[in-house]
Structure 1
Amino acid sequence: MEIIPMLLKEMEQEAQITRKMLEIVPADKFKWQPHPKSMNIETLAVHIADVPNWVALGVHTDGLNFAESPYDPGKAETTQDLLDIFEKSLAQGKAALESTTEEELLKPWILSNGDQILQRYNKIGVIRVALCQLVHHRAQLGVFLRLLNIPIPGSYGPSADVLSGEYQDKANLVSSN
């Protein structure tokens, strides 16, 4: 079984769901946060939009050292900015996967902060973690939106908002696969 086609399919399935979530993030709520220790919606949504680029990072590098390269996914001023960041990030991630080999994906990849090793993965592992982070943070965004009484789409089935008729995009309730 080939891993690269499976990862590409998973990326596309998660992209369909992620687009729906990013499309409903209201720019006038970008600075809102549910708790002082929480990210604000803009920071969270920009991170979600940028996560597919971590696939390219995993493919093209042997690791990331936060002390040498602090993580900065950028800023957004509008909901369209979020979607633009996401589409660029997704394209970079998919292109990286399409251009690599399974042998390359078995090589080690290290996440560190200075001399402190935070995680050791192989490149497949860092890609899987990136996809898990996408799902994790997208769910977090769903909670933020729910707290703002914004109806949310379904992810892997209909949401409570879809079932109650509150979510408006009923033509695209869940991913088609």
Structure 2
Amino acid sequence: MDLMQLLLTEMEQEAVTTKKMLERTPDEQLDYKPHEKNMSMRYLATHIAELPSWVPMILTTEELNFKESEYVPKEIKSNAELMNFYEKSLNEGLVGLTKAKLNQLEETWTLRNGDTILFKGTKYEMIRHTFCQIVHHRAQLGMYLRLLNIPIPGSYGPSADEPHIN
């Protein structure tokens, strides 16, 4: 099997569910936080939307150091802006994977905050970790939406808000 094609297929498949979830993020609830320790829906949805763009960044760099690269999240003001940002990010991720060479996946990549190493492994492992982060944060967004009584789309089958297949 072609590992690059498998990663590309996985990214495309997960994008379908991610898009359905992000589309349900309401403009009037972007500042919603279910608890004081939670991030706002705006920040969470923006982070989910940006994660596909991490793939080409991982493939073309050796590390990300938060101490040297100040993170400034994109400020979205509406669901339309969120969806445009997601489509751009997803396209960057898909193009990055399409252009990647198999041997790049074996290279080491480090995520750090100054001297503190948060992750060190192969670029393949970090790309998979990025995919897992998308799913993880998508589940968090699903909880926010559920608490606001917004119907949840199914991820790997129907949700409680969709008719079950007999």
- TM-score > 0.5, shorter chain as reference: yes
Structure 1's unaligned 5+ residue stretches are 165-172
1:94-141 per-position Cα deviation (integer Å, ceiling 9, x unaligned): 111111111011100000001111110110011000000000000100
Q: Which residue of 2 aligns with 1:60?
A: 60
Matches within 5 A, 1:25-174: 25-163=25-163
1:45-103 per-position Cα deviation (integer Å, ceiling 9, x unaligned): 00000010111111111110000112333111110111111111111111111111110
Which contiguous aligned blocks of 4+ residues in structure 1 show a shift greater than 3 angstroms?
A: none
Q: Distance in 1 between matches of 2:4 and 2:80?
A: 30
Q: Distance in 1 between matches of 2:161 and 2:49?
A: 23
Q: Distance in 1 between matches of 2:134 and 2:151?
A: 20
1:130-156 per-position Cα deviation (integer Å, ceiling 9, x unaligned): 000000000100000000000111011
Q: Which residue of 2 aligns with 1:168?
A: none
Q: TM-score, normalised by structure 2?
A: 0.96
The one of the two structures with greater contact order (alpha-carbon pairs below 8 A, sep at least 6) is 2
Q: Distance in 2 between matches of 1:62 and 1:8?
A: 21
Structure 2's unaligned 5+ residue stretches are none
Q: Distance in 1 between matches of 2:118 and 2:137?
A: 20
Output the amino acid matched with 1:36. E
Q: Distance in 1 between matches of 2:73 and 2:131?
A: 16
Q: Distance in 2 between matches of 1:21 and 1:33?
A: 17
Q: Percent identity over the alignment?
A: 48
Matches within 5 A, 1:10-25: 10-25=10-25
Q: Distance in 1 between matches of 2:38 and 2:159?
A: 24
Output the amino acid matched with 1:112. R
How much is the aligned-residue C-alpha RMSD, in angstroms?
Answer: 1.3
Q: Distance in 2 between matches of 1:12 and 1:73?
A: 24
Q: How many residues align?
A: 165
Q: Distance in 1 between matches of 2:121 and 2:71?
A: 18
Q: Distance in 1 between matches of 2:88 and 2:20?
A: 16
Q: TM-score, normalised by structure 1?
A: 0.90
